[in-house]
Structure 1
Amino acid sequence: MKPLVAIVGRPNVGKSTLFNRLVKRRLALVEDVPGVTRDRHYADAEWGDRAFTLIDTGGFVPGEKDSLLKQVREQAQLAVEECDAILFVTDGRAGLTAADQAVAELLRKSGKPVVVAANKLDSESVQVQALSGEFFRMGLGDVLPLSAEHALGVNGLVEALLDKLPPKKEGEDAEKKDDDAIGIAIIGRPNVGKSTLVNALLKEKRVVASEVPGTTRDPIDSTLEYKGKKVVLTDTAGIRRKSSIAHRVEKFSVVAALKVMERSDVAVLLMDATEPAVDQDAKLAGLAEEKGRALVIVINKWDLIGTDQRRQEAFREALKHSLKFVGYAPIVFTSALTGSKVEKVLDIAVELAEQFRYRAPTPQLNRLLEHMVDANPAPIVAGKPLRLYYIAQVGTAPPTFALTCNYPQRVPDMYKRYITNQLRKTFDLRVPLRLLFKERPGQAKRVARKRLTLKSKPKSKSGKR
């Protein structure tokens, strides 16, 4: 494992800006308002020949009574407990506050090595004035001037941090991203239980879960091993209708959530059992289909409805009718709060991830094509018969099939659906499929040659060819 470094401090001192600066890419949301970051956010960083993992945390407010802020503080405390070193960020312009001193007291008790940074100091004169002595009263050693936004003092800060890390272990740099890991994005409207589901799947309190809508803002990755498979779960911000997105931070969160879905293999669309499928649920399902992601529809809070099997089947049928454009997607009824059937979500997601990368044998595909055409002949288009000659799989994630035919632009949607359904049935695929229709090689030349032949034929005496 790479060494872990936790970035802590009170709200709005620039922790996420520093996090992005150190990992050299914009991963955490940054906004000039307190409380943007709420969960632990992990990312790898490399400086020189040393690699380490950074943990961005929410604003640390000791003694906070508010339930949501209390959970944010708990997440920061967990980061402090698991890390090897701490980056304690303060606001150099605001000076030392009582909240800074309280955080410093907790960090001293942790016994972990600490590097203190006074952030938001953009010039030498400001630095000298700000570091006149008050920050040293915290008793945590030297205080390093920094402007994370303008990259001033970052190199010195990293050097001080590297000195605090445990000695480099043999093979530490050998860690690589596992390309075989299954990416699962948990998506849904606000307050349907996404973070609670992630915690239930991980069997630990990994992300902040609250009844307050919009608690999650950053997409949060969590890794687990499940039945021999490496799985990366990503909790995302609740996605509302555009007209409901009032705050700029939430707009950023929604964009980030959609990007997470694009890079995942499977989207788990979480819905609230106490509310019928709404327009926004349908739009999210449509986005998963549009992006070509495998989809699991999970009905959460089913414990509030009951155990009546007939009621569950009626709910399932109504859902399939309202979301018939993703009728292939499996539906699971769970309770993230009680843990009922949450493992089934992982079972199905792992199975769909395999289907997402499935590759069908070409000979079997062409036997299927022959059977399809015999059972349901291709229609007449523009007064001429549509002929399908050949099929081959040309891509995965999602499975993509190319069919060679004489009129690729005129294949009716109804016949496309027929082909798609037959492919699903034959290969037991419950993921999005893509069909491409193309002409036979040399088709344009053959048509041109035929036209030329007709023009060159001599006319008969009657004026007919």
Structure 2
Amino acid sequence: MALPKVVIIGRPNVGKSTLFNRLVGKRIALVDDTPGVTRDRREGEADLSDLHFIAVDTAGLEEAGPETLSGRMRQQTEAALGDAAAALLVIDARAGLTPLDRHFADWMRGQKVPLVLVANKAEGSAADPGLYEAFELGLGESVAISAEHGVGMADLYEALAPHLDALAAEEEEGDEEEGPLRLAIVGRPNAGKSTLINKILEEERLVTGPEAGITRDSIEIEWSFEGRDVRLIDTAGVRKRAKVQDKLERLSVADTRRAIDFAEVVIILLDATKGLEAQDLRIADQVLQEGRALIMCLSKWDAAEDQSRLFNGVRAALADGLSQISGVPLLTVSGLSGKGIDTLIKVAFEQRDAWSRRVSTGQLNRWFENAQETNPPPAPKGRRIKMRYITQAKTRPPTFIVFGNRLEALPASYQRYLVNSLRQEFGLEGVPLRLNLRSKANPFD
């Protein structure tokens, strides 16, 4: 896998080449106080703790027409950004902001490359005014460094890591081909699981009857729905643990739990003639703990009485009993007539898509800034909690990492706010999300 590229940009003489040399670990680029020493972009393999990437040193950005030398140098910088994983916009903290800094900050907002604002030459108190002034660029807090003395590299690591981690995860998952939908159907005994699968297959593939507990082990069946492969998994009914005394039934319950772990989407079948019971919620909680996409489905719907009242009552009970997740689909189906089966399978594919969804780092951080503006994080004991960046570490289920300071003090209520906002913004309703908090630490310790 090719190393990601990190492009270093900024106006002339802010220390881009010094930073480049620091990252690649040797003096490759010429460094001098004279502006405009670098004219061609230069690349080198760079290491920042456990981050490995190609650093790209570019000419100082200046406003100029394409026919001039400065204009042609700027075109080189634009070309370098074309395949970059991230860009470091460098300013001089001691000199403060200049019109050129503001111009190119505005220009970078139009680029699709994730951007980290770096305030170089930040050693000593003389740089403090420039660091405060950097907020005027509207690019968030700058990373204060001294490329010449190696100060602030841990902070630069923290700012750059989310972008490179996310890119590596995208490339890794992009290599994986989508296989058949692994769909497990679970529930209490006699909820109609085997009858439903027989109707889906249009054959008496599984033994059924009025007796509870006919199915004893998990059965996998290959099937195709509208040209898409499905692997159906029928499971034994799961009763309350206190009622499970027979050794064979204990083995069946363990086999069902393994089936949940193997599945991508789990349908919990509820007997519409009995409604929702506490055991159904316990099974649902287990599915969510395993990180699987979940669908709740009322079976034997044609035999249910007062359907509207029943449906609304179950939906309200789910909202209360599964408060850790919102938007779990609630569907109805009949294993005798087949009504609702097509909708059920289509929703299962949609849930797998959401469960596998990856959100770009740029989209995430735009949402992240808006979420904090709408509802700022609290300040326990008057000390501010600073949330810097968010990135998606993996999918299946979607897992996100928030970087910042004092995140261990972030209340659970605010974490729920972030998770619920994430669901609504990116169409992740009904799938489990993981939100991990990573407070600032020196990676070089």
TM-score, normalised to structure 2, is: 0.58
Q: Quick one: distance in 1 between partners of 2:226 and 2:306?
A: 28
Query: Any idea what SS the aligned residue of 2:402 has?
Result: strand
2:410 match: 411
Worse-superposed segment, 305-314 or 430-439: 305-314
Alpha-carbon displacement from aligned partner over 1:355-388 (angstroms, at most 9, x marks no partner): 1111001100000000000000001134311111
Alpha-carbon displacement from aligned partner over 1:106-128 (angstroms, at most 9, x marks no partner): xxxxxxxxxxxxxxxxxxxxxxx
Q: Quick one: distance in 2 between partners of 1:323 and 1:231?
A: 27
1:305 match: 304
- Taking the TM superposition and a 5 Å limit, the aligned residue runs for 1:50-449 are 180-306=179-305, 308-309=307-308, 311-430=310-429, 431-442=431-442
Shift of 1:225: 1.3
Q: Quick one: distance in 1 between partners of 2:418 and 2:325?
A: 16
Alpha-carbon displacement from aligned partner over 1:158-205 (angstroms, at most 9, x marks no partner): xxxxxxxxxxxxxxxxxxx98611111111010100111111222221
Residues 199 and 178 (structure 1), Cα distance of their counterparts in 2 relative to 1, 3 Å cut:
farther
1:118 match: none
Q: Which amino acid aligns with 2:341?
A: V
Q: Percent identity?
A: 34
Q: Which amino acid aligns with 1:369?
A: F
Residues 243 and 307 (structure 1), Cα distance of their counterparts in 2 relative to 1, 3 Å cut:
closer
Query: Any idea what SS the aligned residue of 2:185 has?
Result: strand
Are 2:186 and 2:193, in contact at CA under 8 Å, matched by a contact in 1?
yes
1:157 match: none
Q: Quick one: distance in 2 between partners of 1:285 and 1:368?
A: 30
Shift of 1:310: 5.2
Query: Any idea what SS the aligned residue of 2:236 has?
Result: coil
Residues 381 and 190 (structure 1), Cα distance of their counterparts in 2 relative to 1, 3 Å cut:
same
Q: Which amino acid aligns with 1:192?
A: A
Are 1:277 and 1:322, in contact at CA under 8 Å, matched by a contact in 2?
no
Alpha-carbon displacement from aligned partner over 1:309-367 (angstroms, at most 9, x marks no partner): 45533442233333333432100011112211022111111111111111001100000
Shift of 1:425: 0.4
Alpha-carbon displacement from aligned partner over 1:95-148 (angstroms, at most 9, x marks no partner): xxxxxxxxxxxxxxxxxxxxxxxxxxxxxxxxxxxxxxxxxxxxxxxxxxxxxx
Are 2:333 and 2:340, in contact at CA under 8 Å, matched by a contact in 1?
yes
Q: Quick one: distance in 2 between partners of 1:326 and 1:250?
A: 30
RMSD, aligned CA: 2.0
Q: Which amino acid aligns with 2:241?
A: K
Shift of 1:391: 0.5
Alpha-carbon displacement from aligned partner over 1:393-442 (angstroms, at most 9, x marks no partner): 00111000000011232221111111111111011112110001002352
Q: Quick one: distance in 2 between partners of 1:271 and 1:360?
A: 33
Alpha-carbon displacement from aligned partner over 1:2-21 (angstroms, at most 9, x marks no partner): xxxxxxxxxxxxxxxxxxxx
Residues 189 and 388 (structure 1), Cα distance of their counterparts in 2 relative to 1, 3 Å cut:
same
Q: Which amino acid aligns with 1:436?
A: N
- Taking the TM superposition and a 5 Å limit, the aligned residue runs for 1:21-32 are none
Shift of 1:306: 4.5
2:36 match: none
Query: Any idea what SS the aligned residue of 1:187 has?
Result: strand
Query: Any idea what SS the aligned residue of 1:385 has?
Result: coil
Query: Any idea what SS the aligned residue of 1:352 has?
Result: helix
Are 1:285 and 1:326, in contact at CA under 8 Å, matched by a contact in 2?
no
Q: Quick one: distance in 1 between partners of 2:308 and 2:224?
A: 32
Q: Which amino acid aligns with 1:228?
A: G
Task: Structure 1 unaligned segments of length 5 or more: list them.
Answer: 1-176, 446-465
Are 1:297 and 1:332, in contact at CA under 8 Å, matched by a contact in 2?
yes
Q: Quick one: distance in 2 between partners of 1:399 and 1:318?
A: 26
Residues 245 and 329 (structure 1), Cα distance of their counterparts in 2 relative to 1, 3 Å cut:
same
Task: Structure 2 unaligned segments of length 5 or more: list them.
Answer: 1-175
Q: Which amino acid aligns with 2:253?
A: V
1:104 match: none
Are 2:326 and 2:420, in contact at CA under 8 Å, matched by a contact in 1?
no
Query: Any idea what SS the aligned residue of 2:288 has?
Result: helix
Q: Quick one: distance in 1 between partners of 2:229 and 2:204?
A: 20
Query: Any idea what SS the aligned residue of 1:313 has?
Result: helix
Q: Quick one: distance in 1 between partners of 2:312 and 2:253?
A: 32
Residues 444 and 386 (structure 1), Cα distance of their counterparts in 2 relative to 1, 3 Å cut:
farther
2:165 match: none
Are 2:408 and 2:439, in contact at CA under 8 Å, matched by a contact in 1?
no
Alpha-carbon displacement from aligned partner over 1:217-245 (angstroms, at most 9, x marks no partner): 11000111113321111000101111111
Q: Quick one: distance in 2 between partners of 1:243 and 1:314?
A: 27
Q: Quick one: distance in 2 between partners of 1:262 and 1:239?
A: 15
Q: Which amino acid aligns with 2:195?
A: T
- Taking the TM superposition and a 5 Å limit, the aligned residue runs for 1:11-50 are none
Q: Which amino acid aligns with 1:373?
A: Q
Query: Any idea what SS the aligned residue of 2:324 has?
Result: helix
Query: Any idea what SS the aligned residue of 2:331 has?
Result: strand
Shift of 1:291: 0.5
Query: Any idea what SS the aligned residue of 2:211 has?
Result: coil
Query: Any idea what SS the aligned residue of 1:347 has?
Result: helix
TM-score, normalised to structure 1, is: 0.55
